[in-house]
Structure 1
Amino acid sequence: MLFYLTTLNLVWFLHEDPPATTEGNFDSKVACDAWSHGDFLCRNYVLNALDNTLYNLYYSIETAKSLWESLEKKYKIQSAGLKKFIVGQFLNFKMVDSKSMTSQVQDLQLILHDLDAKGMKLNESFKVAMVIEKLPPSWKVFKNYLKHKKKEMGLEDLILRLRIEEDN
Structure 2
Amino acid sequence: MAATLCEMATNFQKLDCFDGGNFIRWQRKMHIFLTTLNIGYVLTDARPEENENETLQDTRKRKRKKWENNDYVCRGCILNGMSDSLFDTYVHESTAKELWDKLEARYMNEDATSKKFLVTRWNNYKMIDNKSVMEQFREIEKLLNSFKQYDMKMDESIVVSSIIDKLSHAWKDFKRTLKHKKEDISLENLANSLRLEEQNRVENEKELKVQVSDVHVLEEGTSS
Bin of the TM-score, shorter chain as denominator length: 0.7 to 0.9
2:189 paired residue number: 157
Aligned length: 168
- One of 91, 97, 115 as aligned partner of 1:83: 115
> Within 2, Cα distance between the matches of 1:73 and 1:63?
16
Unpaired runs of at least 5, structure 2: 1-29, 202-224
Moved over 6 A (4+): none
Are residues 1:132 and 2:164 paired? Answer: yes
TM-superposed CA distance for 1:17, in Å, is 0.4
Equivalence map 1:22-37=2 (5 Å): 22-25=51-54, 26-27=57-58, 28-37=60-69
Q: Residue type of the partner of 1:131?
A: I
Deviates most, 116-125 or 39-48: 39-48
Cα shift at 1:8? 5.0
Residues 93-112 of structure 1 aligned to structure 2 (within 5 Å): 93-112=125-144
Q: How many Å apart are 1:65 and its aligned residue?
A: 1.5
In the aligned structure 1, how far is the partner of 2:188 from the partner of 2:176? 19
Gaps of 5+ in 1: none
The CA RMSD measured in Å over matched residues stands at 2.7
Deviation at 1:96, TM superposition (A): 0.5
Q: Which protein is bigger by CA-based radius of gyration?
A: 2
Report the 3-state secondary structure (helix = DSSP H, G, I; strand = E; otherwise coil) of the residue aligned with 2:154: coil
State the percentage of identical aligned residues. Answer: 38
CA contact (8 A) 1:13 1:65 kept: yes
Q: Which amino acid aligns with 2:51?
A: T
Q: TM-score, normalised by structure 1?
A: 0.79
TM-score by length of structure 2 reads 0.62
Cα distance 1:109–1:35, how it changes in 2: closer, same or farther (>3 A)?
Answer: closer
Q: Does 1:17 align with 2:49?
A: no
Q: 1:157 to 1:75 in 2, by over 3 A?
A: same
